[in-house]
Every structure is written in structure tokens, then in C-alpha cells.
Amino acid sequence: MGLRKDQLADQIRDILAMNFQGGRLSDPRLESVTITAVKLTADLQQATVFYRTYNDADAALAGKGLHSAAGFLRKGLSEALDVRRVPELHFKYDKSIEYAGRIETVLDTIHKEKKDSQED
């Protein structure tokens, strides 16, 4: 079940990403949106779609645009996927880059402190 879920999530991510590349969406709020990942629930009925924008300030506006385009995107999924029921789409801003940056900063600080203590 895990492999099918992962494959379907990747397929949904690719299909959604094509909508943003091909200019199919005319909403200006979605111009800087990039789909980064999709996570499905175990029953395949709910999909959390993670997205990024070029400018973090546009994230809230893009979220509203994605919410209003959800029906159109879901219809596109129904045409492209061979599934009994297309999952309901929920959009969430992907903060993983900021999180990774914070972790890297903390690790650098620890590394510098360790190096300084060894020199003493």
C-alpha cells in the first residue's frame, strides 16, 4: 500500500506542476507558485499539496489563489488519473527550506563553539 500511495502522490505532484508550467491557470496570484510535494492520507481520499513561491511575501496570496483553483485542479486530476475517487486537495506552504536553514545555522554555531573550546 505504501508504494502505491507514494507513486500516486508523485503522479499528482507532476500533474499539478504541469498546470503551473503550461500557463493553464490565468490567476495572477499563482504566477510564482511551485508544487514541491504531495502527501496522501492512508485511504487516498485527502491530499496535502505543499507549495513554494519565489517571494515568501506572496505565500498567503498564493494560498488563496490555490484554494480558489482547487476545483479546476481536481478536475484536471480526474481526467489524468486512473483512480476511482480523486483526493480532495488541501494546500500548505512548504517551510522546509527555512527549517533546513535554521538547522544548518545551529549546527554551524555548535561546530564553531566546539572548535573554539578545543583551541583553549
Per-residue pLDDT of the chain (120 residues; tens, 9 = 90+): 477 899 999 999 999 999 887 677 888 888 889 899 999 999 999 999 999 988 877 888 999 999 999 999 999 999 999 889 999 999 999 887 776 777 888 887 887 777 777 776
| Domain layout of the chain by residue ranges | 2-94
pLDDT at position 39? 96
pTM score, whole prediction: 0.79
Q: How far is CA 45 from each of CA 1, 22, 26, 48, rounded to the nearest angstrom? A: 14, 27, 27, 10
Cα–Cα dist 48/84, whole Å: 19
CATH of domain 2-94: 3.30.300.20
pLDDT at position 1? 46
pLDDT at position 99? 65
